[in-house]
Amino acid sequence: MKVWKDRSGKAVEGKEFVARWKQGIKQITPIQQMKVSLFGYSIVFLGIIWGMIYSGLYGQWWLLTILSGSFIISGMQVLPIVQRMIFMITIEKEVLSI
């Protein structure tokens, strides 16, 4: 059985680990969720760009076309997340400054 350790070094077994994990997931803020989404999309964009470069260098034009379309679609998926995050950050700053 896998045994994890918490920050204080105390051994934590499976059921307790899952309970703590669930509690931690419930406490994630919307801004943190958006930051994680943007990080994931940055990895996707790096993969698409690398694929576009590779397919362009080796003459696989059909793959370059597909990846170009994927890049545009992924960009359109990221745009609302960025806009929502900017909005949430400005709201948070205004609320904290009051």
The count of domains in the chain is: 1
Radius of gyration of the chain (CA): 21
Q: Flag whether 91 is in a domain.
A: yes
pLDDT at 71: 97
Token code pair at residue 36 = 């994680």
Q: Flag whether 10 is in a domain.
A: no
Structural domain range at position 93: 28-97
Q: Flag whether 78 is in a domain.
A: yes
> What average pLDDT does the segment 70-87 reach?
96
Model confidence at 7, pLDDT cuts 50, 70, 90, reads confident
Token code pair at residue 86 = 């900017």
Q: Flag whether 37 is in a domain.
A: yes
Q: Flag whether 16 is in a domain.
A: no
